[in-house]
């Protein structure tokens, strides 16, 4: 369960992470924050490349930063897209990477500049995840 305080800290961190976005092609800025099991928060932003396949999403940027710091267990994630009217969930690649380091019941918050926030469990975004399914056996 995500406390109100952690939820606020996580969302503020994701909002602040947008300032690091490098998005000259799409002009679609994204900031993400991951809450680690030790209570620390690590952020990331999307980094585009003119070869779109090489673009790094904010969520994966945050996870890579956390893992590079030795943090291997994530408790929650928040994603902020100020240039969208509606909340935008993590893409499939990000869902897969998040599932490597977060449990299926980890809260995933996503919100946008136009307002509104959605919160779902990671397992609901990535059902039948074999990593979590196999771990339960």
- Any idea which residues carry the catalytic annotation? 59
**For residues 103 and 99, what is the distance between their CA atoms, to the nearest angstrom?**
7
Count of alpha carbons within 13 angstroms of residue 118, beta-carbon side: 17
């Amino acid at each position: 369960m995500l406390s109100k305080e952690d939820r606020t800290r996580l969302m503020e961190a994701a909002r602040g992470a947008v300032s690091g976005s490098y998005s000259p092609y799409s002009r679609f800025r994204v900031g993400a924050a991951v809450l680690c099991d030790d209570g620390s928060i690590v952020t990331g932003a999307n980094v585009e490349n003119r070869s779109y396949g090489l673009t790094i999403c904010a969520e994966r940027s945050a996870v890579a930063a956390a893992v590079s710091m030795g943090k291997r267990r994530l408790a929650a994630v928040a994603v902020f897209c100020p240039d969208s009217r509606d909340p935008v969930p993590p893409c499939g690649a990000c869902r897969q990477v998040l599932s490597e380091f977060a449990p299926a019941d980890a809260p995933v918050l996503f919100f946008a500049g136009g307002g509104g926030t959605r919160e779902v469990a990671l397992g609901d975004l990535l059902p039948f995840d074999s990593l979590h399914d196999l771990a339960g056996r």
